[in-house]
Structure 1
């Protein structure tokens, strides 16, 4: 099922929509947002200079620090009396990034999320349990309003209290789970500990996952654990929240709602715009937001764009699965390493579970990495031969992919911390 006819516009129709909306957005921020007026003047650009879509490259880029420098409301294009909701980041690494929505923005947001959950298979017949944390975080309420837009019954469960999650899931007949992939795996683990089979004793059909990156190996773990069809969606609070892009059932990339978000791929070091299919940093310009329109936001996420028509019938551009973030890339002895590369290896190695931790440290002047991973069967720890063989296997697999040696530490099941929100996999001790 396709939710909106805009998802099937041909390329020229889409470009025409994007250009008109881009021109309107540049004019609005020039007139309404002092930060952008100053940035545009510094580049010698006026709204009338945007005559083609390619002219988007004339515009200044926006970074997260700009939100902090203009905290709380300096980037807003409307007054507080026009705002009907605020959200914000946690602010754990500085001032929080504050975002806001007009009534029309909330309508746009619900429409964008409605498209994504429809892509994933959710319909008005489903019961959707949202196991994201509610609050200033955009994920839970963002998904809720989109699910309600398509008519699904929503259980606003929030995160935590896992056994109660499972009771509600069973008693209410939940068919769609909305959470981070790592928390979904933890719930399945607790279901089995309670003496139930996630596939047979519960009614889940769909997993709509986001909030953290995941690999194809993680998708397989989720589908094997739950017997569901698992999809991933993408967004961030600075852009709107969830609703920027999501996977359809063809599973060949995440469709971007490009009548609302214009994507580019740049070289993260030079800022040069890259071509179709080339991997680089995703940059997004919002073209329908009223309260907080954003020009060329540097997401730090590494991906690529693909424009050919999808087997599902949608013509919107697709972004490949996020390979990592330019700011979470670890440089170890001159080698670029993404946590997602390590996850892919671990989840494809028999005998170990999906929970792991990456420690980076210095030994003398050299960068070193230790990967701590749980075993599926604790009895392996009692067999030196089995333990040594499994350690060598993981070490060899990682060396093949990363090109460097890693220390491997195997621990008992249920040893590592579980996360109800976004998983924290990397500990950098340097």
Structure 2
């Protein structure tokens, strides 16, 4: 089912014209309401009048994650706080989160694009949908929640945790769809099997999976073990949250809601635009956002775009699966984790050498993070009690910064391999095949 045929099936020329009009309006808006962008454009000897069509977007400055951190908390807001009705946040490389504000219209658009996603998966008013992303500052839970409600289906705000209870609810409430990370879906399947429940008893038929990398192999395993059809959903907090793009029944690339989010692919080194079909860094401009609109935001995600017609009837540009990132960010259980976050915690404690190693793995279908860190010689002890206390202190501090639990392993001085070149701080043992 196509939720909004007028926009999702709009002829390409009409879409380009619409994007051009919205870009011109956006540039005027941020120029007069966001000092950061006004100064950037003035440095480039650029005025809003220089932007007349969508092709002029290449004249505009890029925005990076660092720009959001430098303008913490509200420096990039275009709307006054009196018009901001919700704030979400995502983690960054420092203690300051990335703050994102939404006006009432932003939330309405968010619900609209999420409804397009869910409709493409086959969700209808007759479905009961479990939202098993985290609720709170993370955009996943509430983003999917309001999309389900807007579509008219029944929403179950299950969030995460207490998986056995969740399995019973799926069975007893006749839940037909679920939104969660793919790794949680696999864990859910394990619990279902451990409880001795057949997948046919659950009646699941649709899964909306995102917030972390996953592969076709994982899709097939999830579908086989839970008896549903799994679809990719893509989003990021800085742009909107989930709903930026979505797979249709064809499952060949994810349709971008490009009347609201204009995509580009650039060379991550030269920043030059690349043609359709060429892999590079994904860049988004929020064409309609009021609270915190962004010009040419560099996502660091590596993918390619295709504009070929889709058999489903939608005419929007599609993005292919994310192949990696152009920076060192890790995505662990749907949470952004940077090695520099760990480093900042370690360097803040006098007991540790500035030598550490992050070991990422996938056990029982869930991502795990182990932090190995060297204890300074004058703090290293055979006293198990003091070592356990130090381990707990570091674990607690890491959790408060990373928003996820990490297994801490204290090691002896000089036990972590040194390098005369660039130090290897991360070992990612997850195999995505």
Whether TM exceeds 0.5 here: the answer is: yes
Taking structure 1 as the reference length, what is the TM-score of the superposition? 0.78
Paired with 1:214 and 1:60, the residues of 2 have a C-alpha distance of: 32
Matched, 1:207 2:218: no
Q: How many pairs were matched up?
A: 356
Aligned 8 A contact 2:184 2:366 in 1 = no
- 1:325-374 per-residue CA deviation (whole Å, 9 max, x = no partner) reads 111489xxxxxxxxxxxxxxx99xxxx9756779998576698897757x
Paired with 1:253 and 1:358, the residues of 2 have a C-alpha distance of: 30
5+ residue gaps, structure 1, are: 331-345, 374-393, 402-430
Residues 1:329 and 1:150: Cα distance change in structure 2 (over 3 Å) = closer
- 1:70-89 per-residue CA deviation (whole Å, 9 max, x = no partner) reads 11111011111111111111
- 1:235-284 per-residue CA deviation (whole Å, 9 max, x = no partner) reads 11100111110100100100000000110000111101000100000000
Match of 2:67 in 1: 66
Other structure's SS at 2:208 match: strand
Residues 1:107 and 1:355: Cα distance change in structure 2 (over 3 Å) = closer
Paired with 2:369 and 2:291, the residues of 1 have a C-alpha distance of: 39
Other structure's SS at 1:57 match: helix
Match of 1:20 in 2: 21
Paired with 1:283 and 1:124, the residues of 2 have a C-alpha distance of: 34
Other structure's SS at 1:123 match: coil
Match of 1:179 in 2: 180
Residues 1:371 and 1:211: Cα distance change in structure 2 (over 3 Å) = closer
Other structure's SS at 2:100 match: strand
Deviation at 1:94, TM superposition (A): 3.3
Aligned 8 A contact 1:357 1:371 in 2 = no
Aligned 8 A contact 1:85 1:101 in 2 = yes
Match of 1:323 in 2: 323
- 1:130-175 per-residue CA deviation (whole Å, 9 max, x = no partner) reads 1111111111101111111111100001111111111111111110
Match of 1:78 in 2: 79
Note the aligned Cα RMSD (angstroms). 2.5
Deviation at 1:314, TM superposition (A): 0.1
Match of 1:286 in 2: 286
What aligned pairs does 1:137-216 form with structure 2 within 5 A after superposition?
A: 137-197=138-198, 199-216=199-216
Paired with 1:7 and 1:86, the residues of 2 have a C-alpha distance of: 28
Aligned 8 A contact 2:187 2:365 in 1 = no
Deviation at 1:225, TM superposition (A): 1.3
Aligned 8 A contact 2:135 2:142 in 1 = yes
5+ residue gaps, structure 2, are: 331-360, 373-415
Paired with 2:221 and 2:274, the residues of 1 have a C-alpha distance of: 33
Paired with 1:355 and 1:140, the residues of 2 have a C-alpha distance of: 19
Residues 1:155 and 1:356: Cα distance change in structure 2 (over 3 Å) = closer
Match of 1:31 in 2: 32
